[in-house]
Chains A and B, each alone.
Chain A
Amino acid sequence: MSDCTCPRRSFIRSLAAGSTLLPGLVAGLLADDARTGDDPLAPRQPHFPAKAKRVIFVYLSGGVSHVDTFDPKPRLFADHGKEIKADHPEIKNRPGYERIFLKRPQWTFEPRGRCGTEVSTLFPHVAGCADEIALIRSMHTSHSNHFNATLGIHTGSFTVARPSLGAWVSYGLGTENRNLPSYMVLAPATPYAGMQVWASDFLPAEHQGTWVVPGTEPIANIRRRASTSRLQDLERAALRERNAAHLAERAGDPLLAARLRSFETAAGMQLEAPDAFDLSKESDDTLALYGLKRGQTTGFAWQCLVARRLCERGVRFIELIDTGSSGNWDSHGDMMDHARLAKNVDHPTAGLLRDLKRRGMLDDTLVVWTTEFGRTPFNSSADHKGREHHNWAFSSWLAGAGVKPGIVHGETDEYGLRVVKDGVHAHDFHATILHLMGFDHTKLTFRHSGRDYRLTDVQGNVVNALLA
């Protein structure tokens, strides 16, 4: 950590040594780290003590089928081809869907771990971590369109833009490392609803997600453009001198001082971010844990390992998005697509859990795994290869800090059609995540447009059964 704060402090000290600035002003600048008043990212205490200090939010875009992955339904195998009736949003007035038939999963389930939680053969590695996981089989959400449901699972709003969960956590807790953004989103492409899903909306812009695109320049403008680093140092020194003189003429205006500091933070980021993305010092053993090839700079395994490294560097909220608004889990055409997609994320996800565990980081890191909705246990014919959108039920899981491990919460009916026990709506999910971070979700509010807004709007109940 000493590396992280070093550039700013050393710069300010160098100012103090050789500049025309008054000692008092410089002291004020140095004291900034501790000041909370006008710094939206200063570390803050939550409402009550919590184990979780940070979140890794894994989001699988497109709608992961629950009945093929985490919600075993023997009757669905047995009653394959049976006609059912359902007043389902995805079949209403839809030609070809006048009649619907149950469709069996293509994967089998078996109990895993000491806890015996049943997981399908699609996720063999994650299943191996069953004893760490609190599985929720009773998730449900308010909309069956991608756009709305994706916005909903991220912001609690199913229509208009609102601040993202990550932005709320950043707003509530600030950050531990000013050389990196507090909320970072590792995604190869934008999901449905675009960047709205990680926007800060009416919260201060400091809390918005910074989009990291796996590849050679993961953060916009993070690479030096000046021809040599010596040149950039010269430029920064000249800029600093100019800004310091300007500031001295203006009674130490905190806004000007903040911008002056932001160049030092940027310089720190320019050093620290590439380091966070540089996996060359990771051992072969670690790379193998994630299923990552040496030298690889893209892919979900890269996202997972970088997530751990960002955790180590004090980033508050890290979101990993598997794919984007296309080529994703939206398997209308053929459920076998799930095999390809699961193969891509299963090993790295388990690797991340195991790596966090062996480093002791799972004690203060919350891992969230979710999608926007599930997929129908039925289709227009039983031999239809795909499944449709299903917001009535889906599965998500939590692991790590403050989470009761090795449990299953909630139930769907015999076919995975509807939740029958302990339903967890997206709002409840959010309330629980905030609780695990130390917040009463009804009290983490922001005054906007004459109203106190919160992530869960007027809803949300903490699911106590999920808490350790």
Chain B
Amino acid sequence: MSRARLLLSVLLLSVFTLAPLRGQEAQTPSAPEVIELFEKKIRPLLHAHCIKCHGPEKPKSGLRVDSRRALLKGGDSGPALVPGSPEKSLLLKAVRQTDADLVMPPPKSGPKLPEAALRDLETWIKAGAPFPENSEAPPAKHWAFEPLTDPAIANGVTGSAVDVFLQAKIGAVVAPPADKRTLIRRATYDLTGLPPSPEEVEAFLVDPSPDAFSGLVERLLASPAYGEKWGRKWLDVVRYADTAGENSDYPVANAWRYRNYVIDAFNRDKPYDQFIREQIAGDLLAEGVSPERYAELIVATGYLAIARRFGHDTDKDMHLTHEDVIDTLGKSVLGLTLGCARCHNHKYDPVTARDYYALYGILSSTRFPFPGCEAKQAPRDFVPLVPADQVEAELKPWRDEMAKLDGQLKRLETEFAAARKGLGSPATVVSLGTGELKPAGEQSFHAGQGDDPRSWVTVGAGEMIQFTLLPRANHGADSTLLELEVVEQGGKGRTWNLTNDVLPDFFEGGAGARHSDGFGNKGVWLLYDLVPGPTLFTVFARDADKTPGLQVWRGSAPVPGAFINVRDEVIRFATVTLPARSLALHPGPGGPMAVAWQSPIDGAVIVKGRVAKADPGGDGVAWTLERRPGIGNDLGAQKPALEAITALKRQQEEWTRKKPRVDVAYGVIEGKAADARLQNRGEPEQPGDPVPRRNLEFLGGQGLSDPGKSGRLDLARWLTDPRNPLTARVMVNRLWQGHFGRGIVATPSDFGTRGAEPTHPGLLDHLAGRFVAGGWSVKAMHRLIMQSAAYQRASTAGPVAALNTTGAQSDRGAIDAPYAKFSRRRLDAEEIRDALLAAGQELDRSPGAGHPFPPESQWKFTQHNPFKAVYETRRRSVYLMTQRIQRHPFLALFDGPDTNASTARRETSTVPTQALYFLNDPFFHARAESLAKALLALPEAERVAAAHRTCFQRPPTDSEREGARRFMEACRAALGVAPDKTELAAWSAYVRTLLGSNEFIYLD
């Protein structure tokens, strides 16, 4: 059995065994063992061997085997199954293969079934052939899919409606109201993620008005810090990241615009329904709006664009990205695990595979931006923040000028190519040697023997000895080391050694790659390309490829070229190894390159050398050694033409830089509108019928208003239709969770039948109803929730001692009821980091923009060397660069969001590596030192109080003052630092004991 089939049968088996067993009317009751036999053996057997031809899709001979009814009905040959009578059942007859006309499975499809399987089948039929149906229809009624109710509020109750709903389950014993210090600290962190300043605390304490708290809430809601806190919660849900997530984790330079859009939307209290519509179809809502609004709507679609990318060439795995979108869409907006319907109808919720592919078609009709990946490094399809016609108008003048430069360059190059065509040929060429190198081979060569004058190579002044290196069939990995030496025979017996001559100063002057010898002769060594005709290398680079000591001569393209290692140690770059003080050549893809010695003498020489692959890969190289008429002067004469070309290219580069900048968003636009095919078992290689794009069946199943469009606008409207029972419930539950630590529904992204039931269904519907009726205002929900007595309760009834008096146990039990006291919580990762920066008075409150990614032109990330970076900033943590393959170390340590999947709720782990952070981390120590410096600027008597006000929003107690005094004393003695540093070090140590404490990172 193939693995896929095995998978199928196992999958189906688990579906069926978990689904409620509902027997058919006509079916006799069967012993559980027979049902078990059926589920474990028979059903998998039918699915593995029969269903392919006898399933719902065009059943052969009219026979289907996917239900008892179908088997009883049978196909063209009559009933396939006679319960109780194995001998009369054609099904068994066929697989027993006793009748040559009825042989199943057909010999072409597979071998005869094993004997054991035949016996199982017989047993099953004999026992009445029970065949529990796969439950297609999920439970009829589930609270979350029912319309919103308008629950009545009991008459005669005063106070917040929220409290009325909660009261029933709380009982009589509740914690007292929180004191004002606790309340402002709680409200400020809850709404802005930051601690209140000592001044803000004081102002609130002295405000006697009954509206002091609502005034506080209004001030906080109006602060830009509010969007930074609550926007981050939405970014969690949509698994925001600044990288793509495929195997090399390409940076997405423009993702930040969507992040800021979300922050801004919360700050402006954008109605939530509109917020959703913009994120799904902003580009389609952008007709005839102001330029600012246009840009905003384009950026909003980042919601879809930031989906994860997968694999090596992400274009090929877009189906996985579409799945990721559907999964996140379901969880974030509807609170449904739609992803389950990819391979099969949802086991528990009323979502079918056809529903899934109806949505899938909407996404596959949408063009997603391409962030770059190992296979294709250049990003594309980002969406301009201005309409297309405007982009064109802005770009046209620039493009016209560019075309002009292109034309000029082409003309110059054509002229130059014509001029050099004759260069060096036809010629009297004398071959002195040839060879071929294996991918990792090496060879020595020589022309002429010292003791045999007949073998000497005669040269006239100006003639050349040319070494030529040729690529073979495949270009790549062709870097080849060359040692070349010319030794004069007779005369002065001089030796010209290529490496020795050029190494001390590879870049001798500006006239291209010509080099003098060690005897004062100019232009003896020449390095040039031979494609399409000899062209001197003109571009020189020192410390090329960011490698110190690597120097390169090349033409305008990266290859061909000659490069040397001037250092006394080995250099490795890419897959090339250059020994110390060595020279290597790398031909271009189009053909050979050359090194020549142009003779300064009339006389005789012998030529010696060695070639060796510097890169073990590829298919090897070939080489020739020849004596040729000199072309050194002609090469030299190329200079003006080459300079003109170079100048023009430089002009072009400059012009490229002047390209009018059209800002772009990581957003989506319409693609080619088409229905998607159902993918059997979620595998794109197994397409089924096309599924018309439409709304989910249980939400109405409406079709598209215009099938020529993707359908995103329709989808946006379906999702935010006030009659949709989920969207509002899911969002108010998230808001509730944001204040109380747990939702009314404890599974905020799963409102399906497997999710948690609401603890207070009336409250949930009350809030959702108010939400919709109030124009989907999120800020109104904060007001409603925070005005409740439940929100304003203390988190504890008091010290343990108080509990331990009479009736401690029962009191404690009562006070543990949900909402009877406020749930203490740890600050989340961003709050901890922001609070540390705020304490040190270092927090930069300005909004963040893009990240300092390396320039796009340098992106060469691969799965072997993926993009990895951590960018430090003093801005709020919501502006940190977050990656998908590697998590930001701080956020990872303190339970930050999962950048790969929707995070519905932050966990709170307590692990010793976190404690190590508060003991030893340099960032932590630096923040403490910063606060210590600020304290040192105050008179000594005020420092402890100031430290407590900053860290805990309260003054110190007497025993804390005394503790501080004792600590400082002991500390000064234990420091072991120079006396002039003692005070700062001691106060830093003291501050660490505050910043590391539970009081600092827990919120009452």
Contact partners of B800 in chain A: CB under 8 A:
21-22, 25, 248-249, 251-252
A333 within 8 A of B: yes
The residue in chain A whose Cβ has the minimal distance to the Cβ of B996 is A239
Q: Which of A105-113, A219-227, A350-358 contacts B (4 or more CB under 8 A)?
A: A219-227
Main SS class of interface, B = loop
Q: Check A238–B617 contact: CB distance below 8 A.
A: no
B915 and A265 within 8 A (CB)? yes
Given contacts A196-B885, A221-B921, contact A334 B801 (CB under 8 A): no
In the complex, the chain B residue whose C-beta lies closest to that of A324 is: B864
Identify A259's interface contact among B246, B801, B885, B998, CB under 8 A: B998
Max chain B C-beta neighbours (<10 A), residue from A195, A222, A235: A235
Q: Which of A236-253 contact B (CB under 8 A)?
A: 236, 238-239, 241-243, 246-253
* Interface residue? A51 (CB, 8 A): no
Chain B residues in 8 Å Cβ range of A255: 824, 826, 908, 910, 1002
Bound form: Cα–Cα A96–B795 in Å: 70
**Contacts known (A221-B921, A234-B967, A251-B796); A246 close to B913, Cβ less than 8 A:** no
User: In the assembly, what is the distance between CA of A274 and CA of B887, in Å?
Assistant: 26
Distance of A98 from chain B, by nearest CB (Å)? 13
Q: How large is the interface on A (under 10, 10 to 19, 20 to 34, 35 or more residues)?
A: 35 or more
- Assess whether A222 is in contact with B916, with CB atoms less than 8 Å apart: yes
Convert B235-255 into 0s and 1s, putting 1 for each residue whose CB lies closer than 8 angstroms to a CB of A: 000000000001101000000
Q: Which of A96, A225, A246, A258 contacts B999 (CB 8 A)?
A: A246
Contact in complex: A262, B796 (CB < 8 Å): no
**Chain A interface: which of B22-30, B197-205, B729-737, B747-755?**
B747-755
Q: Is A165 an interface residue (CB 8 A)?
A: no
Q: A256-B1002, A449-B337 are in contact. Are A225 and B752 (CB under 8 A)?
A: no
Query: From B989, which residue of chain A is reached at the shortest CB distance?
Result: A235
Assess the B998–A247 pair: CB atoms within 8 A: yes
* A residues less than 8 Å from B910 (CB atoms): 255, 258-259, 262
Of A120-128, A203-211, A309-317, the one with at least 4 CB within 8 A of chain B: A203-211
Is A417 on the interface with B (CB-CB < 8 A)?
A: no
A159 contacts partner chain B, Cβ-Cβ < 8 Å? yes
Q: Which residue of A lies closest to B6 (CB)?
A: A459
Q: Is B993 an interface residue (CB 8 A)?
A: yes
A194-B886, A247-B998, A386-B617 known; A326+B865 contact, CB < 8 A: yes
Give Cα A206–Cα B438 distance, bound, in whole angstroms.
53
Q: Within 8 Å CB of A269, what residues of B? A: 912, 916
Q: Please name all residues of chain B whose beta carbon is closer than 8 Å to the beta carbon of A334 when the two chains form the complex.
A: 439-440, 616-617
Comparing B82-90, B579-587, B969-977, the segment that makes contact with chain A is: B969-977
Which residues of chain A come closer than 8 Å to B755, judged between CB atoms?
A: 450
Q: Is A86 an interface residue (CB 8 A)?
A: no
Contact B320 A159 (CB under 8 A): yes
**Cβ of B340 under 8 Å from chain A:** yes
Segment 846-886 of B: residues with Cβ below 8 Å from A: 863-866, 868, 885-886
Contact B992 A235 (CB under 8 A): yes
Interface string of A434-459 (1 = CB under 8 A from B): 00000000000000011100000011
* A229 nearest CB neighbor, chain B only: B974
Instruction: Tell me the chain B residues, 306-320 only, with Cβ under 8 Å from chain A.
Output: 308, 310-312, 320
Question: Is B900 an interface position by the 8 A CB rule?
Answer: yes
Known A204-B907, A253-B824, A258-B910; judge A234-B974 contact (CB<8 A): yes
Q: Contact string, B900-939, partner A, CB cutoff 8 A, digits 1/0?
A: 1100000111111111111111100100000000000000
Q: A234: which B residues are within 8 A, CB to CB? A: 967, 970-971, 974, 989
**Is B474 on the interface with A (CB-CB < 8 A)?**
yes
Is the C-beta of A148 less than 8 angstroms from some C-beta in chain B?
Answer: yes
Nearest Cβ in chain B — how far from A256, in angstroms?
5
Instruction: Judge whether A147 and B796 touch: CB under 8 Å.
Output: no
How many whole Å from B59's CB to the nearest CB in chain A? 27
Closest to B917 in A: A221
A238 with B993: CB separation less than 8 A: yes
Q: Within the complex, what minimum Cβ distance (angstroms) separates B351 from chain A?
A: 12
| A147-B247, A220-B916, A449-B750 known; A205 vs B10 contact (CB < 8 Å) | no
| A84: B residues at CB distance < 8 A | none
Q: In the assembled complex, which residues on chain A have CB atoms less than 8 Å from the CB atom of B887?
A: 195
Which of A145, A146, A227, A258 has the most CB atoms of chain B within a 10 A radius of its CB?
A227
**Contact yes or no, B348 A450, CB < 8 A:** yes
State in angstroms the CA–CA spacing of A316 and B412 once bound together: 71
**Is the CB–CB distance between B824 and A250 below 8 Å?**
yes
Closest to A265 in B: B912
Given contacts A224-B920, A450-B754, contact A263 B7 (CB under 8 A): no
Residues in B1-45 with C-beta less than 8 Å from chain A? 3, 6-7, 10-11, 14
In angstroms, Cα B824 to Cα A268, docked, is 28
CA distance A21 to B801 in the complex (A): 9
Interface membership of A231, Cβ < 8 A: yes
The interface residues of chain B lying within 8 Å CB-to-CB of A409 are: none
Nearest CB of chain A from residue B631's CB, rounded to whole Å: 36
Tell whether B65 is near chain A: CB-to-CB under 8 Å. Answer: no
B247-284 vs A, CB cutoff 8 Å, 1 = contact: the mask equals 10100000000000000000000000000000000000
By the criterion CB–CB under 8 Å, are B348 and A205 in contact?
Answer: no
Near A by CB (< 8 A), chain B positions 439-459 give: 439-440
1/0 contact trace for B966-1000 toward A, CB 8 Å? 01001100111100000001000110111011110
Pair A219/B913 contact, Cβ less than 8 Å: yes
B348, B747, B866, B925: most-surrounded residue (chain A CB, <10 A): B866
Are the C-beta atoms of B617 and A333 separated by less than 8 Å?
yes
Query: Is A88 engaged at the interface, CB distance under 8 Å to the other chain?
Result: no
Contact call A325/B617, Cβ cutoff below 8 A: no
**Known A-B contacts A204-B909, A250-B795, A256-B998; A325 and B865 likewise in contact (beta carbons under 8 Å):** yes
Contact of B996 with A266 in the complex, beta carbons under 8 Å: no
B796 touches A227 (CB 8 A): no
| Interface pairs (18), CB distance under 8 Å | A22-B800, A25-B800, A145-B312, A148-B311, A161-B900, A161-B901, A194-B866, A220-B917, A236-B919, A239-B997, A250-B799, A262-B912, A270-B920, A326-B864, A334-B616, A386-B617, A450-B750, A458-B14
Known: A161-B900, A206-B911, A242-B997. 14 other contacts (CB 8 A): A25-B800, A145-B311, A161-B901, A228-B975, A231-B971, A234-B974, A241-B963, A250-B796, A250-B799, A250-B1004, A251-B797, A253-B824, A255-B910, A269-B916
Where the two chains meet, the residues of B that have a C-beta atom closer than 8 Å to any C-beta of A are 3, 6-7, 10-11, 14, 246-247, 249, 308, 310-312, 320, 331, 337, 340, 348, 438-440, 474, 477, 575, 616-617, 747, 749-750, 752, 754-755, 795-801, 803-804, 812, 824, 826, 863-866, 868, 885-887, 889, 892, 895, 898, 900-901, 907-922, 925, 963, 967, 970-971, 974-977, 985, 989-990, 992-994, 996-999, 1001-1002, 1004
